Amino acid sequence: MSRRPDSDLSDVRADIWLWSARFFKTRALAKQAIDGGKVEVNAAGCKPAKSLNVGDRIKVTRGEERIELEVLRLADKRGPASVAQGLYRESESSRVARDAKAEQRRLTGAALDHPAKRPDKHARRALRRMKAPD
C-alpha cells in the first residue's frame, strides 16, 4: 500500500492527525480523547472522523494541560518528533499558560506527592495487610 505525500493531502481524520502529530501515543488513545470531549476543532466539538484542514484551530486537553494550536500541515502517518512539530503551531498564550502551570507545580512540589514521614512498624504492617491478596 503506497502512501501519499503530505503535500497531496486535502484533509485528514482528526484522530489520525493527532496521532501523527504525536499528541497521543496510539490512534485509539486519540479516538478516546475525542470521544471524551477533550478535543475541540474550531471552537466546536469533534468526532474522530472529522476532517481537518490546514488553518484549523484545535484545543487539546491532556490531564491538566490545555494546548491551543493551529494546523500548518497535514499528515496521515507518524514520523519523527522533529517532523511532527512542524505540523502545527502552538499559540503564544497557550505556551505561556502551560509554562506558568509547570513552574507552579515545580515550586509547590505538586509533582512530589510524598508522605510527611516514613511509616512506622504498625503502619508498615497495615500497608502489607492492605496490599496482600486475600
**pTM for the full model?**
0.74
- For the stretch 36-54, pLDDT in tens is 999 999 999 999 999 999 9
> Taking the mean position of all CA atoms in its chain, how far away is CA 121?
41
E strands, the chain, in order: 12-13, 39-41, 51-52, 57-62, 65-71, 88-90
What does pLDDT average to over the chain? 88
The contacts of residue 29 (CB under 8 Å, 6+ apart) are 19
Contact 45, 37 (CB under 8 A): yes
Domain ranges for the chain: 6-111
Which cell numbers hold the place of 109? 512540589
pLDDT band at 1 (very low <50, low <70, confident <90, very high): very low
The yes-or-no verdict on residue 2 having pLDDT over 50 is: no
CATH number for the segment(s) 6-111: 3.10.290.10
